[in-house]
Homo-oligomer: A and B are copies of this chain.
Amino acid sequence: MSHISAITENPVFSRLSKETIDLLVRFSVKKELIKGTYLINQGDLWPYLFLVTRGQIVAEKDSVDGRTFIATTFKPGEIFWGITFFIENAVMPASLKALDHASIYLWSQKDLKPIIEADGVFSWEINKMVVSRIQFASELLESMTFHPIAVRLARLLVGIAEGGERTSIERNLTLDEMAARIGSTREMVCRLLYKFSDEGLIRITRTDFSVTDPENLLKRAQK
């Protein structure tokens, strides 16, 4: 009951008719995930659409040699899907894991496809949502292909510190987690962190850090 508003008020659904929204609510299944749980694994068939209402879900890709790369994270209000939702017998290219205690709404393809096909506006909104993810993937690709790891790390830091410049922030990502997000190793991350610190771009101790000057951080990371 309480969180139905997460559905009715989501921007993706905002243009929908009352009838469609009612159907959406009716077919939704709520699910709680405790920290560290995998919603699904890379390689699974998973024909669902989901909406995050609490916590964070990360999409992580594993490589053969055991390294994992975090491609993106889904925050409350965001919607995502399993490929199988759209393409029968296509398999998930990444695992989905709850970063902390998370709540999501789930819809199965079986329930939703008829609704989408019946409502052109809904369908168009789904298209928009899907395409905006492509755009994101494209940026990620560019970042991984063209930018050296110093720049990727600098971006990550700026993203984390965003809002609270100058103020000291508790280090809530381990070196390994940072490394997974920029596609590198913990040693590398550590080295760069202290290099940035030596150049006066950030201030860092073993337990917390702050970004002194985001613009210069990005600029200097280029070389």
A interface, CB within 8 angstroms of B: 61, 63-64, 67, 69, 71, 81, 83, 86-87, 90, 93-94, 113, 116-121, 123-124, 126-128, 130-135, 137-142, 144-146, 183
Set B94, B116, B127: member contacting A130, Cβ < 8 A: B127
Set B69, B113, B127: member contacting A126, Cβ < 8 A: B127
So how many copies of this chain end up in the complex? Answer: 2
What is the CB-to-nearest-CB distance from A112 to chain B, in angstroms, rounded to a whole number?
A: 11
Residues in B whose Cβ lies below 8 Å from that of A141: 61, 71, 137, 140-141, 144
What is the CB-to-nearest-CB distance from A126 to chain B, in angstroms, rounded to a whole number?
A: 6
What is the CB-to-nearest-CB distance from A59 to chain B, in angstroms, rounded to a whole number?
A: 9
Set B116, B117, B128: member contacting A86, Cβ < 8 A: B128
Set B69, B117, B133, B138: member contacting A146, Cβ < 8 A: B69
Contacts A93-B138, A93-B139, A144-B145 given; does A113 touch B124 at CB 8 Å: yes
Kindly state the separation between the CA atoms of A94 and B94 in the bound complex, as whole angstroms: 24
If over half of A's interface residues share one DSSP class (helix, strand or loop), that class is named, otherwise mixed; here it is: helix
Q: Are B124 and A117 in contact, with the CB atoms below 8 A?
A: yes
Contacts A93-B138, A93-B139, A144-B141 given; does A87 touch B123 at CB 8 Å: no
Residues in B whose Cβ lies below 8 Å from that of A146: 61, 63-64, 67, 69
Q: Are A117 and B126 in contact, with the CB atoms below 8 A?
A: no
What is the CB-to-nearest-CB distance from A154 to chain B, in angstroms, rounded to a whole number?
A: 15
Kindly state the separation between the CA atoms of A116 and B87 in the bound complex, as whole angstroms: 19
Residues in B whose Cβ lies below 8 Å from that of A131: 81, 83, 86-87, 130
Residues in B whose Cβ lies below 8 Å from that of A145: 61, 63, 69, 144, 183
What is the CB-to-nearest-CB distance from A122 to chain B, in angstroms, rounded to a whole number?
A: 9
Kindly state the separation between the CA atoms of A93 and B131 in the bound complex, as whole angstroms: 12
Residues in B whose Cβ lies below 8 Å from that of A133: 134
Q: Are A93 and B135 in contact, with the CB atoms below 8 A?
A: yes
Q: Are B137 and A87 in contact, with the CB atoms below 8 A?
A: no
Residues in B whose Cβ lies below 8 Å from that of A120: 116-120, 123
Residues in B whose Cβ lies below 8 Å from that of A64: 146
Kindly state the separation between the CA atoms of A71 and B144 in the bound complex, as whole angstroms: 13
